[in-house]
Structure 1
Amino acid sequence: MTKSALVTGASRGIGLGVAKRLAQLGYSLTVTARDAERLAAVAAELTADGAPQVLAVAGDLSDPAHLEHLTTEHRTNFGSMTALILNAGVGTAGNIADYPLRRFDKTFAVNVRAPFQLLQQSLPLLRAGAAEDPHRGAKVVSLASITGVFAERGLAVYGATKAALISLTQTLNAEESGNGISATTIAPGYVDTDMSKWTQGTIPPTEMLEVNDIVEIVAAILQLSSRAVVPNIVMTRAGTDGYGA
């Protein structure tokens, strides 16, 4: 049986870390990110890491046509899907009082609408993947945030999108876990990636979670049987009270 996964935001950070681990585990991969040149280099790395086949499909997740193309390419090349990793996301700090609505719309387009469309389009492929391996089933892993669980001052919009993603993922379990598709959101505090550079003046990278902490959790989830459903995992930073990023 050929295992295959689709990974969004795969050119750097958590997405790249997860994609590299999947390649090492023998998954064929469809990877996407906005930077075509960077994504092509990543595809070569993933092949060297052991992925039998890698499709690099660059594009903007806020573009519905790109999402349609992405799942069509995966279907054409692999026929089924073992894992869907919804990693890509955007977010900037800002208070409710003056947060720009254009930025609000973009954030929801990438963080909520795109995962929903990808889930909807991928369900037939995930069902096929679950049927090919009934014991393991098919997995969906979505990168949320601790701000989707506990409110964080200045992160209202980002947190709201991640709360929506957590709710969407839990509803997917209610609807599809009986078909062998189980879904998990991972809701970490700050992780040492480019996305967290804006706060490094307050929280040094040495106090943030490591990318590999998230990668290890994803790898463990993929090993669970189809009988196990883990709806949400909150990961906090050492030395905090556990209720904030």
Structure 2
Amino acid sequence: MHALITGASRGIGRGIAEHLASQGWHLLISGRNLESLEEARQALLSLGAAQVLTVPAEMASDQDLQAILDAQSAWSSRLDALILSAGVGTAGTVAEYPSHRYDKTFAVDVRAPFKLIQGTLPALRAAAAARPEIGAKVIALASIAGVHAEPGLAAYGAAKAALISLIAGLNAEESASGVSGTALSPGYVDTEMSAWTRQTIPQQSMIPVSDLVEIVAALLRMSPRTVLSNIVLNRAGEHGGRA
């Protein structure tokens, strides 16, 4: 079984990579920092991964995205899972959000996933054809901010809403042939990316990474006859749709 995981050196991507390593998967992982990727590679091999290849990449760079795609095509003609965990997002109001930050957010959170899905579709289709009882899965880390608007998260939420729509479009076009996608849209998850908000949202109230890993594990076991385009994960308590 072969999986490509972006953002795999820490946070949710790392948690998913560790689970797949423990199941003996072949992994191709990417992240921005070469040193962190090498540490992750060694850890994943120690957990039981059959193989771990690394590609350092900045998701806003077309050159780096192509390097990931080139590495994947040289690595394996089949891809059982594409895990899109890399993301970026900062708070800011519509009135004050800088345009360069808006562009970076959409480049990383929308354009990069689109390019990676598009580029790996032949390998995903090949895996689905080889294992029709399971198919091939695309799993993208979105956010509850892409489902429910929240003050200060308009740009981030817009990007994640576009990602959710991208996955729904993928399912409309490809799921009948065994390639299906799921966007995961959680509230605040207990990772470094959420550290900035711990003064107002207690760490112990955030969603644990392990819960998202459990969902991903279940999705990868499901038959291709069922499609879950988006799964929303709320934090416990009276938060409604808030992150």
TM-score (norm 2): 0.99
Number of the residue aligned with 2:4 = 6
Q: Which of residues 149, 152, 155 in structure 1 aligns to 2:150?
A: 152
Equivalent position of 1:124 in the other structure: 122
**Pairing 1:77–2:75 present:** yes
Question: Could you tell me how far 1:95 is from its partner in structure 2?
Answer: 0.3
Question: Which blocks of at least 5 consecutive residues in structure 2 are unaligned?
Answer: none
Counterpart Cα distance in 2 of 1:128 and 1:24 = 24
Matches within 5 A, 1:1-245: 3-245=1-243
User: How far 1:13 moved relative to its partner?
Assistant: 0.6
Which amino acid letter does the alignment assign opposite residue 90 of structure 1? V
* CA distance in structure 2 between the partners assigned to 1:129 and 1:238 by the alignment: 37
Q: Distance in 2 between matches of 1:215 and 1:240?
A: 24
TM-superposed deviation, 1:6: 0.4
TM-score, normalising length: structure 1: 0.98
Q: How many residues align?
A: 243
CA distance in 1, matches of 2:209, 2:19: 12
Compute the displacement of 1:75 (Å).
Answer: 1.6
Q: Residue type of the partner of 1:214? A: L
Look up the equivalent residue of 1:159 and give its one-letter code. G
Instruction: Tell me the secondary structure at the aligned position of residue 55 of structure 1.
Output: strand
In structure 1, C-alpha distance between the alignment counterparts of 2:130 and 2:41, rounded to whole Å: 26
Which of 146-155 and 46-55 deviates more? 46-55
Runs of 4 or more off by more than 4 Å in structure 1? Answer: none
User: Which one-letter code corresponds to 1:49 in the other structure?
Assistant: L
Percentage of identical aligned residues = 54
The aligned amino acid for 1:106 is K
Letter in 1 for 2:149: A
Gaps spanning 5+ residues in structure 1: where?
none
